[in-house]
Structure 1
Amino acid sequence: MRAIHSVNPNPQNLEETIEYNEILEWVNSLQPARVTRWGGMISTPDYVLQAVIKRSLVESCCPASIVKELIENAHERSWPQGLATLEPRQMNRRYYENCVAKRIPGKQAVVVMACENQHTGDDMVKEPGLVMIFAQSVEEI
């Protein structure tokens, strides 16, 4: 531990780096996904559906530090301005069609992580990421 402190004397920075690396490792373990019908998005999932998605995140080894935030970000009330309601979603469709999305294993849902989508504006993605759930139309690439 003393050797770590001599290289990086700020333990908080080290902790943040380790957490970020865990997130990247998890994101990289997921399959890239393509959404074929964005109109099938469930923007207001109920608690039962959120619980099902949460269980899949945990089973996929999603870091515990971000599971709760990702589930909160599965509902449009937590989405950034560019996705928050139907009208901006329709206007911004070409932007979110270009987002990097990863499939939540076994579900018609994807995560759009901020660390993979810096090319989008702040009004299109939220830290640590968004969960988007669909009635159908999620395919692995």
Structure 2
Amino acid sequence: MILFCRRWVNSLQPARVTRWGGMISTPDAVLQAVIKRSLIDSGCPLSIVNELIENAHERNWPQGLATLETRQMNRRYYENYVAKHIPGKQAVVVMACENQHMGEDMILEPGLVMIFAHGVEEIL
């Protein structure tokens, strides 16, 4: 499972977020469904798709991202995330297996999805 997950993550393009303030912390069901379809289409293991989508909402985020205030305080750490672009979307996946260097208050198992209004770029 871990190997399959790593293989999928490695197939995604690295991403840079240029506008962290554009993060959508409470995506509605329609937006979550669109991102879920993109994850599946990109080859995301079906065993983790639902968990990743649940982790796209701030109610499930780790302590360091849990509220607007903590997100603003911790914004300087965001550049340290290893983020991968979800193809065709203004969204990234931040997998725990690639972010062991981050504090446990900044990451979730197996990972989390961050959706943005704008500001996601692939690193070529």
Q: Report what 2:96 is aligned to.
A: 114
Q: Report what 2:120 is aligned to.
A: 138
Task: Answer with 1 or 2: which has the greater Rg.
Answer: 1
Give, in whole Å, the separation in 2 of the partners of 1:81 and 1:130: 13
Partner of residue 30 from structure 2, selected from 38, 48, 71 = 48
Runs (5+) with no aligned partner, structure 2: none
Q: Report what 1:3 is aligned to.
A: none
The letter of the residue matching 1:92 is: N
SS in structure 1 opposite 2:37? helix
Corresponding position: 1:87 with 2:87:
no
Counting matched residue pairs gives 123
Give, in whole Å, the separation in 2 of the partners of 1:96 and 1:65: 27
Give, in whole Å, the separation in 2 of the partners of 1:86 and 1:117: 22
Cα offset for 1:94? 1.3
The letter of the residue matching 1:74 is: A
Partner of residue 61 from structure 1, selected from 39, 43, 63 = 43
**1:74-123 alpha-carbon deviations (Å, 9 max, x no partner):** 00000000001111101111112210000000000000000000000110
Give, in whole Å, the separation in 2 of the partners of 1:103 and 1:49: 16
SS in structure 2 opposite 1:44? coil
The letter of the residue matching 1:123 is: D
TM-score, structure 1 as length reference: 0.86
CA-atom RMSD in angstroms? 0.4
Q: Report what 1:29 is aligned to.
A: 11
Give, in whole Å, the separation in 1 of the partners of 2:80 and 2:29: 29
State the 4+ residue runs in structure 1 displaced beyond 4 angstroms: none
The letter of the residue matching 2:74 is: N
Q: Report what 2:56 is aligned to.
A: 74
Q: Percent identity?
A: 81
Runs (5+) with no aligned partner, structure 1: 1-18
Give, in whole Å, the separation in 1 of the partners of 2:42 and 2:66: 27
Give, in whole Å, the separation in 1 of the partners of 2:78 and 2:100: 12
